[in-house]
Amino acid sequence: MAQRYAEIRAHSLVLTEGLTAEYQCIQSMPDAIPLKWHLAHTSWFFETLVLSPHDNAYQPFDHRFAYLFNSYYEAMGPRHPRPQRGLLSRPCLADIQHCRIHVDAAVLGLQHQHRS
């Protein structure tokens, strides 16, 4: 399962190769998902629904991301408005990429713990 997780997460980055940070911020319509936001949202999802409930030692990459990268789940607390996801100039793409590395390492570590 760890290998498949890593493959899927890596593939999502392959899909964005060659696209500048500016292209990844664009939200063409209120219900469209900017690529940068989506990359961060999926990391938020793993932090919130996998890591936090199952790893007491886990520390989120940035607590502010919980608001910024949840625009769907009303029960998960305050959310950034969907139509305004394309207005987020910060965090920058590099910070989101570092967040993904942080989250992926923690998820893979958690999977390793459960195999042991």
pLDDT digits (tens, 9 = 90+) for 6-24: 999 999 999 999 999 999 9
Q: pLDDT digits over 36-67, tens only?
A: 999 999 999 999 999 999 999 999 999 999 99
Domain span at residue 100? 2-115
Indicate left, alpha or beta for 90 from its phi (over 0: left) and psi (-120 to 50: alpha): beta
Indicate left, alpha or beta for 23 from its phi (over 0: left) and psi (-120 to 50: alpha): alpha
Per-residue pLDDT, 116: 63
3-state DSSP assignment of residue 51: helix
- Residue 95 confidence class, pLDDT cut points 50, 70, 90: very high
Distances (CA, A) of 114 to 1, 2, 34, 53: 11, 11, 34, 14
- What's the whole-number mean pLDDT along residues 56-81? 91
**pTM of the full predicted structure?**
0.89
How many domains are there within the chain?
A: 1
- The residue whose two tokens read 């987020």 is 88
